[in-house]
Amino acid sequence: MQENRYRTHMCSELCEDLVDSKVRVAGFVENIRDHGGVIFVDVRDMSGVIQVVSNDDAIFEGITRESSITLFGTIRKRDEEDYNGRISTGTIELLVDSLEVLGKANNVLPFEVMTSKEVSEDVRLKYRYLDMRNPKVKENIIFRTKVIDYLRKIMKEEDFLEMQTPILTASSPEGARDFIVPSRKFHGKFYALPQAPQQFKQLLMCGGFDKYFQIAPCFRDEDARSDRVYGEFYQLDFEMAFAEEEDVLKIGEKIFRNTFKEFGKGKKLSDEAFTRLSFKESMERFGTDKPDLRNPLELVDLTDVFEDTTFRPFRGVQVEGIVVENIADKSNSWFNDLGDYAKSIGMAAGIGYFKVADDMSFVGPIDKFLSDEEREDLIEVANLKPGSVIFFIADRKNAYKYAGLIRDELGRRLDLIDKDEFKFCIVKDFPMYEWSDEEDGYIFTHNPFSMPQGGMEALESKKPEDVLAYQFDFVCNGIEMASGAVRNHDLDIMRKAFAIAGYEEDEIEKRFNALYEAFKYGAPPHAGMAPGIDRMLMMLLDENSIRETIAFPMLASGADLLTGAPTEVDEMQLREAHIKVR
């Protein structure tokens, strides 16, 4: 068999056992150093780095950093005083006999590859191919591959069948804005890129497959943020036929526990079952349906304490409290900074508080407005102790939201959160509907294809806001990692569920025709969920931005500086698609 003309060994394979052996390596010129007339060149391939020297420095003439080259020569031992303990090849070097430049790089680089993570993101992404040569960046991409391989292994161990679902499909109300694709063949009609493979995986269950999964690309035209990229993301999508909620939760626990133990770099992860919270309990205790359980602070409902209060800001509104022990000695500026934060999140009046003195009297501007009975009730209900501080969050509609944000901020400012721990919980029993002033009607809070708890009876006998769904989220350290549900597989229940959300039957049949028809032919009960791969990777890698886990991410704005997307198209393309730009 003919030997590869570019390399016989990867850099990481070079070792002292090969001293005096002839080898060929290929890679990129990482560095060129002139040490008093002797030139040293560091060559980097995907696996590592090797130092290269020559008896004839002219062999290196004209090469530039980041050029791709192939070299042939002899491995020799370095002098002991020249050992480099930072690299695996630090005791050897390659004495070059011949060198060929395969691809010459410009003399001036847009940035230093080895420090590219310190460069502005727009420059990094414009020259992403250079950025990825940085070993730290490359490690993230390799890590992604390893995690996805491991997820596949788990699913196959559980007898799930990997399948693919269409990318071109029909528009569907999945909770976000669709990307639409004009059809050339069907004048005036459009495909949509799938927000998730929701309908197709349910149809697979209707087709008699028991367990399906895929590493699914999902497309949503919604704004980016630190834990969500614009446009495209990937999830481990799976579905199970003849399954109940508990069946899915067990698989979800296995996926997250095993993956985070395997790739969590030694961070703590409890062997106990994940904490389970109803949506209602999560909101009441933590002010959010995505609680960070590393934070020990919890909310205290004080609304009843102030039911008859004369203090106007607490009258007729929801009042939540957060008690923090042993911080009464904090400076006034510390409390003022917290007040500024409260205003920054929309609390126009800021945040109220008082300190508890050693004699259990209260110190703070709110105290003078309280009655003796209210003081006594606060001590009992909030379990106040000397040296503690109680913060008040009062609002007619958004008390939970603001209290949850204040709780998170207190956790950060007081260093209450263990950064070396993964703490999971499952939040379940979500409301099926919520009222929308904008729509002037009820809308689905989560997945519209979920089964309501209590089935048809609940839909017919309860107020819509009181109907719960078999829906659940997996949450880790305050970040939603997966959503799932028991699906609605009954056509009558489906009609009623969508009718409450304002859909006429003919609209249901038109928009969800495939499911609507499939449910007429013995659809099995089924359930599933979809862990977000990008978010898992972000957390496992301890990166602040989800874009650090993706090979070719867009900017948060949705612009792709590498390819120039989105771009204009020519008039002929528009005509073929029957599109006119206004």
Token reading at 536:
């898992």
Residues 182 and 225 placed together within one structural domain of the fold: yes
Per-residue pLDDT, 271? 86
Last residue of a domain, one of 50, 78, 103: 103
Question: DSSP string of 170-227?
Answer: ----SSSPPPEEE-SSSTT-EEE--SSSHHHHHHHHHTT-SEEEEEEEEEE----BTT
At 233-291, the pLDDT tens digits run: 999 999 999 999 999 999 999 999 999 999 999 999 988 899 999 999 999 999 999 99
| pLDDT single digits (tens) 100-118 | 999 999 999 999 999 999 9
- Clarify whether residues 153 and 222 are in a common domain: yes
- The answer to whether position 38 is within a domain reads yes
Confidence class for position 430, pLDDT limits 50, 70, 90: very high
Looking at residue 526, what is its pLDDT?
98
Secondary structure (3-state) at 490: coil
Q: Give me the torsion for CA of 166, 172, 173, 179, rounded to 10°.
A: 70
Does residue 267 share a domain with residue 145?
A: yes
CA separation for the pair 53, 76 (Å, rounded): 10
For the ranges 117-131, 198-212, 487-501, 568-582, which has the lowest average pLDDT? Answer: 568-582
Measured distance CA(486)–CA(505) in Å, rounded: 22
pLDDT > 80? residue 227: no
pLDDT, mean of residues 297-317: 93
Compute the Cα dihedral for 263, 269, 272, 274 and give only its sign.
negative
Q: Which residues contact 505 (CB under 8 A, 6 or more apart)?
A: 495, 499
Task: Please report where in the chains the tokens 């020259």 appear, as a residue.
Answer: 127
> Are residues 149 and 253 both part of a single domain?
yes
pLDDT by residue (tens digit) across 131-184?
A: 999 999 999 999 999 999 999 999 999 999 999 999 999 887 556 789 999 999
Among 13, 36, 114, smallest CA distance to 53 is for 36
Do 186 and 246 sit in the same domain of this protein? yes
Task: Tell me: do 143 and 164 sit in the same domain.
Answer: yes
Residue 127 lies in a domain: no
pLDDT for position 366: 86
Give the pair of three-digit tokens for residue 568: 């204009």
| Separation of alpha carbons 249 and 314, rounded Å | 41
Structural domain span for residue 191: 138-275+425-550
Question: What CATH number is attached to the domain comprising 364?
Answer: 3.30.1360.30
User: pLDDT band at residue 1, thresholds of 50, 70 and 90?
Assistant: low
- Do 258 and 325 fall into the same domain? no
Tally of structural domains, the chain: 3
pTM of the model: 0.92
* CA dist., res. 6 & res. 145, Å (int): 26
| DSSP for 121-189, written as a single string | HHHHHHTHHHHTTSHHHHHHHHHHHHHHHHHHHHHHHTTPEE----SSB----SSSPPPEEE-SSSTT-
- Residue 4 maps to a domain: no
> CA 422 to CA 424: how far, in whole Å?
6
Residue 437 and residue 401 share a domain: no
Q: Looking at the domain assignment, is residue 382 inside a domain?
A: yes
pLDDT of residue 175: 61
Angle at 480 between CA 406 and CA 205, to 5 degrees: 155
- Identify the weakest region by mean pLDDT among 68-72, 109-113, 559-563: 559-563
Are residues 75 and 200 located together in one domain of the fold? no
Task: Please indicate, yes or no, if residue 120 is contained in any of the structural domains.
Answer: no
Structure confidence at residue 173 (pLDDT): 59
Sign (positive or negative) of CA dihedral 220, 224, 230, 232 = negative
Both 400 and 445 in a single domain?
A: no
Q: What is the mean pLDDT of the chain?
A: 94
Which H helix or E strand runs over 23?
strand 22-35
440 located within any domain: yes
DSSP assigned state of 252: H
Confirm whether 270 is domain-assigned: yes
Domain with residue 90: its CATH number is 2.40.50.140
Q: Are residues 42 and 169 in the same domain?
A: no
Burial of 561: CB neighbours in 10 Å, binned 0-12, 13-18, 19+: middle
The identity of residue 110, as a single letter, is P
**Rounded (5°) CA angle 31-550-236:** 145
Predicted pLDDT at 229: 83
What's the rounded mean pLDDT across residues 440-445?
A: 92
- Higher local confidence (pLDDT), 252 or 581: 252
The whole-number pLDDT of residue 214 equals 98
Among 167-176, 249-258, 533-542, 566-575, where is mean pLDDT lowest? 167-176
Write the CB contacts of 150 (distance below 8 Å, at least 6 apart in sequence). Answer: 258, 259, 262, 263
55: Cβ–Cβ under 8 A, 6 or more apart, which residues?
A: 95
Task: Please indicate, yes or no, if residue 36 is contained in any of the structural domains.
Answer: yes
Percentage above 70 pLDDT, the chain:
99
Residues 230 and 336 in one domain: no
